Amino acid sequence: MADPGPRRLRALGEIPVTQLRHVGPKRAEALASLGLETVFDLVTLYPRRYIDRTRRVDLSDLQVGDEAAVFAEVKSCSSRRTRQGRSLVEVRVVDNGESMKVVFFNQPWRAAQLVAGVQAIFFGAVSDFRGTRQMTNPVVDVIVGASGEERDPSRVGGIVALYPASGKAGITSWEMGGFIEESLKRAGPLLDPLGEDLRRDHSLVERTAAYWGIHIPAEMAEVAPARRRLVFDEFLRLQLLLALRRRRLEESSAGVRHPFDPHDLDVSPGSLADRGSSLVRQFLSAHHFALTGAQRRVLADIGADMASAVPMHRLLQGDVGSGKTVVALSTLLMSIDGGRQGAFMAPTEVLAEQHLAALRADVAGLRVRDPGVLAGERDVVVQLLTGRVKGRERQAVLAGLVEGGVDIVVGTHALLTDDVRFKALGAVVIDEQHRFGVEQRARLRDKGREHSVEALDPDLLVMTATPIPRTAAMVVFGDLDRSVLDEMPAGRRGIETRWAGAPEQVAEAWQRVRDEVAAGRRAYVICPLVEESERVEATSAVAERTRLATHELRGLSVGLLHGQMKGTEKDEVMAQFRAGDIQVLVATVVIEVGVDVAQASVIVIEDAWRFGLAQLHQLRGRVGRGDAQSYCYLLGEAPSDEGRQRLEALVASRDGFALAEVDLDLRGEGTLLGARQRGRSDLRLASLRRDEAILVEARDVALALVRDDGLAGNAELVDELRLFVDDEEAQYLFRS
């Protein structure tokens, strides 16, 4: 590390940990097992918490019942077995001449960890055992190992940063702190890519101070501003990448200008639209309901995107039942109006079939110009393309797409296969986007350019009913524009949600099913989620159906739907359910998304706690789609706190966005961010919940920087971003 002058962050990513003083091959291997290979990895491994040794807890002050963190040294340690045969490790610890006993049950390995001389933090409740204070099974952070000479112990006394548990790799928190301190010392001053003005405007401390402040604070007051700066940097880098991606996409795109007239959205249903008017206008005027205000607003946004030469790249969020399908269809029709085709992709075959049926009914009577036919015009043609469409049928659909005889294709992943080509793909709508990855989204969009004779980029609309909290959306879908359907169609009756834990409540649920069926309506029963396999799940669904048909629901017509059934069988069952020949549908989660049967008014979810909150909300959304009062029963006790909170939240709220916030709280952010992007994840410190305000600031700054010059004038920032993308992407994003 001889390079003078402020060092770039990326330079730290090029220094292997083996260059540090106490890191030999063995230590390096241990660090690697924790994903720490470079000095950059080390300085961005952030403390989990701090112990302020300047305000130490005096052992003699501890009260029985206190929860405390005690820093102490192990004096002695012994292990034995209890009379019941459990392993028991007893440790005596001392601090400042006072001592305390710490005991561990069933953790025999503690004897090897907590040998005399080890200094550690013990975190737990203080109890009384035969008149002496002790801690039982506390959380332990070893600060200084038995051979505690690696790092100057004189610093124990100030503030000690505690790093994520590394017991498995055999690296103490103390050692880790030593590596990080050495890294920072040898790195010297770091180059700050944010200018003074920007820092002042956003109350950001300087970068070098931030790294020191978070790892080696002289006082606790340094930590918060340091953290703020580092969180800002994380968000900024992420938002810069998203904004750059967006900019490149727009620069390189050759979009389609679809004709669109906003007045077409103002027609009232039942009015007459003449034959010459746009398909959207004809469709809306022939429709049996008026658009909600939200649907109208969203369609106006979409129309404007469609009409512009920059391809649309938009996310439509709308709670279950908010009426996304009409929006999707109108979008596809706008594309056809301009003489192009549309593709509609759904995550399951059941849903694709349903969309196909609905779309065909909706376009009935609509005609498109086609110079290839005698009359000069023909009916709009909607075709299906799923894994099940095979052989000659498939060939016919593929040919229709290339030649232009098919206007709209509805399908599943099957649409992504290479042999699917279009004449002129104008718009792509993806339903229930959360089921698809970013890659798949991009693949379908690329179809327009690469697989379409016309070689233009189609407009893209992705829809989701899984509400994403605003902050999460900024991170996960930051490169998309967003529209929200925040209004339900009028005349909806409520869904009463009850958690039926006790047997008499369960009986009430089944009685409700009988009553609703007697009144001519229908019911779903959702079988417990089985983790092992779809096959096991199917088997248990079969058994449950038999049980219900012969017991609780005897005399009713009970059908079955699960993931192992053939496509045609599923269609048959859905058709019978729609028609009322099946009154109760016992199903696995295959019906989770999108299934729309307006007469269904009650849903019973067995072992409800096994499902995630978003999934439960989706399942519940299968009812309440008509004008009848609907019911949702959640069966079973929840064995965990978290499960209980989920069910309580569902009973309390029907608002998908409120539930999404609860979900984020309960599950943490990892799951959400997991699918965010390939490459290295940069959100190590930031929390979407806690740091929303910083995220918004960073996003604004990022957008402004990229808008100005695409970051061309900011070599330092570009350099830093290279840490987080692979070479291929870097070339795409940063070429000048």
Cα separation, 469 vs 270, in Å, equals 38
Task: Specify the residue, 469 or 594, whose C-beta has the smaller distance to Mg ion.
Answer: 594
Structure tokens at 300: 């106006």
Residues 365-424 that bind ligand ADP (CB under 6 A): none
Cα separation, 636 vs 617, in Å, equals 17
Task: Specify the residue, 151 or 324, whose C-beta has the smaller distance to Mg ion.
Answer: 324
What long-range pairs does 503-507 form, CB within 8 A, spacing at least 24?
Answer: 505/633, 506/633, 506/635
291 binds ligand ADP (CB under 6 A): yes
Pairing of strands 459-464, 313-318: parallel
**CB-based contacts of 500: which residues, under 8 Å, 6+ apart?**
506, 508, 509, 633, 634, 635
Least separation, in Å, of the C-beta of 295 and ligand ADP? 6
Least separation, in Å, of the C-beta of 283 and ligand ADP? 13
Task: Specify the residue, 321 or 404, whose C-beta has the smaller distance to ligand ADP.
Answer: 321
Least separation, in Å, of the C-beta of 436 and ligand ADP? 16
Task: Specify the residue, 405 or 594, whose C-beta has the smaller distance to Mg ion.
Answer: 594
**CB-based contacts of 298: which residues, under 8 Å, 6+ apart?**
316, 327, 483, 484, 485
Candidates 313, 324, 562, 570; binder of ligand ADP (CB under 6 A) is 324
Least separation, in Å, of the C-beta of 262 and Mg ion? 24
First to last CA, the chain: 30
Least separation, in Å, of the C-beta of 495 and Mg ion? 17
Least separation, in Å, of the C-beta of 110 and ligand ADP? 53
Candidates 134, 317, 325, 483; binder of ligand ADP (CB under 6 A) is 325
How far, CA to CA in Å, does 506 sit from each of 595, 607, 632, 637? 25, 12, 12, 11
Full DSSP string of 312-341: PEEEEEE-TTS-HHHHHHHHHHHHHHTT-E
Candidates 318, 342, 469, 710; binder of ligand ADP (CB under 6 A) is 318
Least separation, in Å, of the C-beta of 280 and ligand ADP? 15
What residues are paired with 313 via a beta bridge?
460
Residue 103: which of Mg ion, ligand ADP, none does it interact with, CB under 5 to 8 A by kind?
none
Looking at 111-119, 313-321, 583-591, 698-706, which segment touches ligand ADP (CB under 6 A)? 313-321
Residue whose pair of structure tokens reads 């693949």 in the numeric block? 443
Binding mask 674-693 for Mg ion (x = CB under 5 A): --------------------
Count of residues binding Mg ion (CB under 5 A)? 1
Least separation, in Å, of the C-beta of 173 and Mg ion? 49
Least separation, in Å, of the C-beta of 118 and Mg ion? 59
Least separation, in Å, of the C-beta of 319 and ligand ADP? 7
Cα separation, 458 vs 449, in Å, equals 8
Task: Specify the residue, 620 or 646, whose C-beta has the smaller distance to ligand ADP.
Answer: 620
Least separation, in Å, of the C-beta of 618 and ligand ADP? 9
Least separation, in Å, of the C-beta of 596 and ligand ADP? 5
Structure tokens at 116: 């005399």
Residue 444: its H or E element:
helix 438-450
Looking at 314-322, 340-348, 468-476, 539-547, which segment touches ligand ADP (CB under 6 A)? 314-322
Q: Tell me the three state secondary structure of residue 176.
A: helix
321 binds ligand ADP (CB under 6 A): yes
Residue 338: which of Mg ion, ligand ADP, none does it interact with, CB under 5 to 8 A by kind?
none
Residues 465-494 that bind ligand ADP (CB under 6 A): 465, 489
> Which is nearest to 666 in space by CA: 589, 609, 621?
609
Structure tokens at 417: 């296969």
Candidates 236, 326, 381, 647; binder of ligand ADP (CB under 6 A) is 326
Candidates 289, 310, 481, 687; binder of ligand ADP (CB under 6 A) is 289
Residue 47: which of ligand ADP, Mg ion, none does it interact with, CB under 5 to 8 A by kind?
none
* Chain CA centroid to CA 15, Å: 33
Least separation, in Å, of the C-beta of 584 and ligand ADP? 21
Least separation, in Å, of the C-beta of 292 and ligand ADP? 4
Quote the Cα angle for 386-390-394, to 5°.
80
Which amino acid would we find at residue 577?
F
**CB-based contacts of 182: which residues, under 8 Å, 6+ apart?**
20, 21, 22
Least separation, in Å, of the C-beta of 328 and ligand ADP? 8
598 binds ligand ADP (CB under 6 A): yes
Candidates 594, 621, 636, 643; binder of Mg ion (CB under 5 A) is 594
Count of residues binding ligand ADP (CB under 6 A)? 18
Which amino acid would we find at residue 97?
G
Task: Specify the residue, 158 or 580, whose C-beta has the smaller distance to ligand ADP.
Answer: 580
Least separation, in Å, of the C-beta of 529 and ligand ADP? 22
Candidates 323, 338, 339, 458; binder of ligand ADP (CB under 6 A) is 323
Task: Specify the residue, 398 or 463, whose C-beta has the smaller distance to Mg ion.
Answer: 463
Q: Which residue is nearest to ligand ADP (CB)?
A: 323
Looking at 165-173, 232-240, 290-298, 364-372, which segment touches ligand ADP (CB under 6 A)? 290-298
Looking at 79-87, 355-363, 467-475, 586-594, which segment touches Mg ion (CB under 5 A)? 586-594
How far, CA to CA in Å, does 397 sit from each of 7, 89, 365, 735? 59, 71, 21, 40
Residue 289: which of ligand ADP, Mg ion, none does it interact with, CB under 5 to 8 A by kind?
ligand ADP
Task: Specify the residue, 357 or 560, whose C-beta has the smaller distance to ligand ADP.
Answer: 357
Q: DSSP class of residue 146?
A: T
Looking at 186-194, 242-250, 415-423, 591-599, which segment touches Mg ion (CB under 5 A)? 591-599
Cα separation, 468 vs 432, in Å, equals 12
Phi, psi dihedrals of residue 117, rounded to the nearest 5°: 100, -20
Cα separation, 393 vs 467, in Å, equals 37
Residue whose pair of structure tokens reads 């967003």 in the numeric block? 482
Binding mask 614-633 for ligand ADP (x = CB under 6 A): -----------x--------
Candidates 596, 691, 697, 720; binder of ligand ADP (CB under 6 A) is 596
> Which is nearest to 153 in space by CA: 165, 145, 164?
145
Looking at 15-23, 182-190, 387-395, 588-596, which segment touches Mg ion (CB under 5 A)? 588-596
What letters, b where the CB count within 10 A reaches 16 and e where it falls short, cover 306-323?
A: bbeeebbbbbbbbbbbbb
> Which is nearest to 389 in space by CA: 429, 334, 352, 347?
352
Residues 566-595 that bind ligand ADP (CB under 6 A): 594
Task: Specify the residue, 6 or 626, whose C-beta has the smaller distance to ligand ADP.
Answer: 626
Residue whose pair of structure tokens reads 């928190």 in the numeric block? 173
What long-range pairs does 594-597 form, CB within 8 A, spacing at least 24?
Answer: 594/346, 594/348, 594/351, 594/354, 594/355, 594/431, 594/432, 594/465, 595/350, 595/351, 595/354, 595/622, 596/325, 596/354, 596/358, 596/625, 597/522, 597/622, 597/625
- The residues that touch Mg ion, with contacts defined as CB under 5 A, are 594
- The residues that touch ligand ADP, with contacts defined as CB under 6 A, are 289, 291-292, 295, 318, 320-326, 465, 489, 594, 596, 598, 625
